[in-house]
Amino acid sequence: MKIEEAAADFLSCRRIAVTGVSHAPKGHGSNAVYQRLRDRGYEVFAVNPNAESVEGDKTYRDLRSIPGGVEAVVIGTRPDRAMDTVKEASELGITRVWMHRSMDAGSVSPEAAAYGREHGATVIAGGCPLMFGPASDGGHKAMCWVLKLTGSVPRTV
């Protein structure tokens, strides 16, 4: 599947969890994703087991603790934590997973991506939801174009 199709499917979800949202938001991509999705009308849930609230909203320890569940999850933690999130998503029947990455390794774990795919999930391993569709802006679209050239944003999923 082309990245644009996978991104459109992901962003068609209205209830999205974002892991790694920090109480100290400076420099955290998760916070930018969380804020933008919230501002664009998505029902987003901040996942951070070490904070009671972030961005003025309640946080949740894990995906399992979100009332009513979610349709999709953005992983914004270190790559070594991605596997736990992908396994939990799989157990909960969440089939849309996005591992955030811009310039560096971001949250991408090849092992976690493979696990998710083996268990029926569409896993976008790289890039950012803010580069596509209703969540995007000019700066993120330009960054997407550049990062596709470097391979940080996959062309296919």
Domain ranges for the chain? 3-150
Give the pLDDT score at 56: 87
pLDDT tens across the length of the chain (157 residues): 999 999 999 999 999 999 999 877 665 678 999 999 999 999 999 999 999 998 889 999 999 999 999 999 999 999 999 999 999 999 999 999 999 986 676 899 999 999 999 999 999 999 899 999 888 888 888 988 888 888 778 889 9
Structural domain 3-150, CATH architecture: 3-Layer(aba) Sandwich (3.40)
pTM assigned to the model: 0.93
Give the pLDDT score at 92: 98
Backbone phi, psi, residue 108, to 5°: -75, 125
Give the pLDDT score at 140: 87
